[in-house]
């Protein structure tokens, strides 16, 4: 009988802030840092891409009217179509009466136009053109209608894990049932940044003059661009029902922050709150390496293998987000795995997790892998394992991580 059971042991060591693992007081600091920040937005989601850490959530999973921020979904699907050849940047698309009928923010397109896809993309990203969005939607729709494309959007969103998104149009025009959550918008923003690095620079463009026909609508409404804080995307939104919102992103050094806010009362409030969140996210938290690639953090017993122990090592540099305040001390780190591990085990196979519990932040769960291959043992290994069980020698041992 295999005696495997979850092994969870704790090892702590108080270390200086400048040393490899800086963990003590982390829950207290995370709690105080987060508790000190309150957003005026009705709903918000703030995410650190480098470490996968959610820094702030407020009504983040509530389906809300996303206004023009939902154009990001249309853009994502347009980028997919460009990559698989269904669209070409220099392809010219016709403008339907339905597309031309939209008001609000537009490119002032008309049915005599045939517009390049590249211009339509900039018209959506920079000018938030409702008409441009529909032209793209109708071109990609299975039945040539915006409604048909909206159904595609909903289906694709589910495939991407956007659990609280439902689309009834392509551009966020107020309509019953058209909803997205702030978390979904944050996930979508991350996917755009990661999946389409070729197209993402368009989101940093501050001005787009199309054919000289819309002089009152030539500037990007993203209030973070040009502030010198690393902002380079993504999309604003506003309707009377939704209030003022923003999906924004900024990069400083190796860190990138994504923020999503909604329900602000004015453009000024949106601009001030977005900048305040970006400054808080970069100044109050720093990224630290807790283990270097290949470093041993613990060892573990192996069951029925041609070796009896393996080392648990970091498969890559393991990074975590920590409060920026410099305090001495450490925290208890926990390694979780099934003990003893059962052979066969491949070199580099994930066999354990380093878990760092952080109050008011999700636990940091960092994978640990085997440093060697362990084949299934023969008769000798089986006899040895049986003897160990009978002798009661399989005991848990707490070992220091460092």
Residue 191 maps to a domain: yes
Q: Are residues 70 and 219 in the same domain?
A: yes
Q: Are residues 294 and 265 in the same domain?
A: no
Q: Are residues 336 and 257 in the same domain?
A: no
How many domains is the chain built from? Answer: 2
State which of 247, 270, 286 marks the end of a domain.
286
Half-sphere exposure of 271 (CA within 13 A, CB side): 11
Catalytic site includes residue 251: no
State which of 251, 286, 321 marks the end of a domain.
286
State which of 286, 305, 333 marks the end of a domain.
286
Q: Are residues 118 and 186 in the same domain?
A: yes
Range of the domain at 333: 5-28+289-391
Phi/psi-derived region of residue 396, left when phi > 0, alpha when psi is between -120 and 50, beta in every other case: beta
Q: Could you tell me which residues come within 8 angstroms of residue 101 by beta carbon, excluding any fewer than 6 positions away?
A: none
* Per-residue model confidence (pLDDT) at position 61: 98
Q: What is the mean pLDDT of each run of 10 residues along the chain (402 residues)?
A: 50 29 33 64 97 94 98 98 98 98 95 97 97 98 98 98 98 97 98 98 96 82 97 98 98 97 98 97 88 91 89 90 62 80 92 78 84 80 52 38 38
CA distance 123 to 119: 6
Catalytic site includes residue 68: yes
Strand partners, 193: none
Cβ 218 vs Cβ 107: under 8 Å: no
Q: Are residues 243 and 179 in the same domain?
A: yes
CATH code (residue 45)? 3.40.710.10
C-alpha distance from residue 283 to each of 165, 277, 324 (Å): 32, 10, 7
Where do we find the tokens 């439902």?
Answer: 166
Exposed e or buried b per residue across 221-244, where buried means at least 16 C-beta atoms within 10 angstroms of its C-beta: bbbbbeeebbbbbbbbbbbeebbb
Q: Are residues 278 and 299 in the same domain?
A: no
* Per-residue model confidence (pLDDT) at position 135: 98
* Per-residue model confidence (pLDDT) at position 246: 98
Predicted TM-score of the model (pTM): 0.81
CA distance 311 to 369: 8
* Per-residue model confidence (pLDDT) at position 364: 80
Phi/psi-derived region of residue 48, left when phi > 0, alpha when psi is between -120 and 50, beta in every other case: beta
Which tokens hold the place of 173? 């025009």
C-alpha distance from residue 116 to each of 30, 93, 132, 389 (Å): 49, 6, 10, 73
* Per-residue model confidence (pLDDT) at position 85: 97
Q: Are residues 206 and 75 in the same domain?
A: yes
Cβ 140 vs Cβ 149: under 8 Å: yes
> How many other β-carbons are positioned within 10 Å of the β-carbon of residue 314?
20
* Per-residue model confidence (pLDDT) at position 366: 87
Catalytic site includes residue 128: yes
Strands 296-303 and 341-342, bridge-based pairing: parallel
Catalytic residue among 42, 71, 181, 249: 71
* Per-residue model confidence (pLDDT) at position 358: 61
Exposed e or buried b per residue across 150-184, where buried means at least 16 C-beta atoms within 10 angstroms of its C-beta: bbbbbebbeeeebebbbbbbbbbbeeeebbbbbbb
Q: Are residues 210 and 311 in the same domain?
A: no
Catalytic residue among 68, 170, 181, 370: 68
Catalytic residue among 96, 105, 128, 170: 128
């Amino acid at each position: 009988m295999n005696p495997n059971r979850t092994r969870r042991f704790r090892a702590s060591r108080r270390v200086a802030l400048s040393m490899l693992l800086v963990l003590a007081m982390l829950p207290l600091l995370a709690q105080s840092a987060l508790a000190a920040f309150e957003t005026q937005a009705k709903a918000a989601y703030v995410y650190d891409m480098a470490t996968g850490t959610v820094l702030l959530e407020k009504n983040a999973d509530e389906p809300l009217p996303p206004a023009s921020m939902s154009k990001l979904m249309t853009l994502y699907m347009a980028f997919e179509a460009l990559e698989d050849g269904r669209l070409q940047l220099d392809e010219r698309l016709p403008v339907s009466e339905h597309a031309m009928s939209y008001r609000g923010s537009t490119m002032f397109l008309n049915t005599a136009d045939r517009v390049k896809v590249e211009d339509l993309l900039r018209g959506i990203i920079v000018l938030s053109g409702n008409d441009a969005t529909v032209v793209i939607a109708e071109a990609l729709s299975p039945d040539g209608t915006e409604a048909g494309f909206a159904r595609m959007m909903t289906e694709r969103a589910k495939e991407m894990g956007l659990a609280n998104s439902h689309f009834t149009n392509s551009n966020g025009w107020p309509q019953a049932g058209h909803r997205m959550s702030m978390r979904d918008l944050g996930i979508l923003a991350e996917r755009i940044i990661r999946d389409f690095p070729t197209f993402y620079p368009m989101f940093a463009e501050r001005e787009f003059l199309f054919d000289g026909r819309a002089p009152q609508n030539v500037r990007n409404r993203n209030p973070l661009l040009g502030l010198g804080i690393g902002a380079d995307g993504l999309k604003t939104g506003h309707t009377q029902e939704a209030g003022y919102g923003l999906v924004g992103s900024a990069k400083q050094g190796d860190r990138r922050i994504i923020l999503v806010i909604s329900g602000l009362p004015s453009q000024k409030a949106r601009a001030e709150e977005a900048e305040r969140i970006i400054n808080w996210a970069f100044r109050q938290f720093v990224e630290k390496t807790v283990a270097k690639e290949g470093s041993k953090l613990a060892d573990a017993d192996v069951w029925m293998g041609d070796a009896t122990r393996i080392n648990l090592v970091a498969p890559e540099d393991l990074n975590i987000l920590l409060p920026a305040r410099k305090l001495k001390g450490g925290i208890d780190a926990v390694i979780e795995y099934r003990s003893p591990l059962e052979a066969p085990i491949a070199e580099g196979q994930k066999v354990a997790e380093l878990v760092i519990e952080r109050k008011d932040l999700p636990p940091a769960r960092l994978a640990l892998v085997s440093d060697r291959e362990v084949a299934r043992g023969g008769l000798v290994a089986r006899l040895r394992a049986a003897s160990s069980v009978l002798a009661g020698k399989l005991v848990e041992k707490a070992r220091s991580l460092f």
